[in-house]
Structure 1
């Protein structure tokens, strides 16, 4: 896969159900708008979010535009300039920019974005214990990220989009998520360095942007330099993810 590597190393000075199956007509750029990306695949590496975040509370939010592939200042929270925000513990909750969603970062603004997670139970069985809602073993084989990502070539018919967050899998709720939070270190008993550690899982998110375009996104890591098997010595607040965006308004996500 040809990927445009975007090294996001500048420190961010931010303290960070419905589905329309038919193709949509994307909105034109807003007056004075930025530089839209082309249809393609992008990898964002070590995006600096809240590097002082702890497990004790929410991190400072980080707003991001998929259509421009850049961080949006928090001062623009009540605009349509961003598509997703990294919020909550370790910036692990990914909310869409949706002004109608009460209690979300975009509430009250003009945002129309939605988000969904693709959960393939047959695929999950390779690494995931569906009875206990946790990985069978850690680390999860890295090859599964490419396999999961490449399997998604379109927006699946009937996919359930939401305006709330997609976050940590079955943590403080019954929702499927993109990452497993080993709160007590139960995957590694007796090792205090393995408690309160977040492990990404190979699950693909679909984002319908504020302007009506579709993107698939997969989280790769939330720790600096993307350790395969992180522990408490690794520094959180450095987000690495990959996404492919279709700028023509169609649901085609078979994008090189």
Structure 2
């Protein structure tokens, strides 16, 4: 069993890369890591989550430390070693590690992390119907991700952090999210391959880590190799995201 677990962790970790194109350092089972990253921007590509996940239920959770740029074993769920977890349908809900959040995988633990999503309605109109809450063009122009990301140079004053998850836009709860879930395939009527498909949107999340540092994060895809126009033929469970973390404790996120 131990050999099987270590093999699985190796597969997961080799799928992720930092700004130096090196995979996150392996986490020793039962250890606490202790190898913080430097202030900087990191891109994690095809991070292997639950590749067997379906739209019928929650995926197997994947725990991640932004401060160490690594996957944390599920056995350490009740610790402060992780900052966010990819949870729910297709690993699409991003929960902070907060022990007071009922329903969170970190509930009951020591976690103090929080999260917020920045929603700019004036920016949204470039790709999104702000009345009916759905994309107006697909694929969404790729340039909008960098534009949205680069606009966030600091933690906005008055930003409301939450301890619940940031998930799929207005799906089963009506909250603003980072992506849109076309449950019935209504954006492409008559095409069954477009039902139950998640479309990433260029929205930035701010994470306050368990240790109180700030990071901005933008999701790029939950499908293998980040297809521009995903459908049911594409494999979910491969998470790609970018984040910038400020390790000096300030709210400055103008980070190259």
Cα displacement (A) at 1:5: 5.2
Alpha-carbon contact 2:32-2:81 (below 8 Å) kept = no
Q: Which residue of 2 aligns with 1:28?
A: none
**Displacement, 1:131?**
1.1
> Is 2:55–2:196's contact at 8 Å kept on the other side of the alignment?
yes
**Paired residue total:** 235
Aligned residue for 1:205? 205
Q: For the Cα contact (< 8 Å) 1:182–1:195, is it kept in 2?
A: yes
Kindly tell me: are residues 121 and 46 of structure 1, through their superposed partners in 2, closer, same or farther at Cα, counting changes over 3 Å? same
Which structure features the higher share of helix residues? 2
Q: Distance in 1 between matches of 2:72 and 2:159?
A: 28
Rounded Cα–Cα distance in structure 2 between residues aligned with 1:252 and 1:121: 23
The answer to whether the 8 A contact 1:184-1:196 is kept is: yes
CA contact (8 A) 2:213 2:247 kept: yes
Aligned match of 2:246: 246
Question: How big is the shift at 1:135?
Answer: 0.3
Contact in 2 for aligned 1:216/1:244 (Cα 8 Å):
yes
CA–CA separation in structure 2 for the residues paired with 1:161 and 1:6: 31
Give the aligned partner of residue 5 of structure 2.
none
- Is 1:164 paired with 2:164? yes
1:59-138 correspondence to structure 2 within 5 Å: 59-138=59-138
In the TM superposition, residue 32 of structure 1 has moved relative to its aligned partner by: 5.7
CA–CA distance in 1 between the matches of 2:136 and 2:91?
A: 25
Normalising to structure 1: TM-score of the pair? Answer: 0.89
Q: Offset at 1:6?
A: 4.4
d(CA) in 1 for partners of 2:212 and 2:32?
19
Superposed CA offset, 1:110-153 (max 9, x none): 00000000000000010000111000011100000000000000
1:37 is matched with: 37
- The answer as to whether partners of 2:84 and 2:97 remain within 8 angstroms in 1 is yes
Q: Give me the whole-angstrom Cα distance separating, in 2, the residues matched to 1:124 and 1:214.
A: 24
Q: Which has the higher contact order (CA 8 A, sep 6+)?
A: 1
Q: Distance in 1 between matches of 2:220 and 2:156?
A: 22
Aligned 8 A contact 1:6 1:45 in 2: no
- Partners of 2:226 and 2:131 in 1: how far apart? 28
Deviations 1:29-54 (A, max 9, x none): xx964200000000000000000000
Unpaired stretches in structure 1, ≥5 consecutive residues: 10-30
TM-score (norm 2): 0.89
Match of 2:19 in 1: 4
On the 8 A contact 2:79/2:109 being kept in 1, the answer is yes
Moved over 3 A (4+): 5-9
**1:188 aligned partner:** 188
Cα root mean square deviation, aligned: 1.8
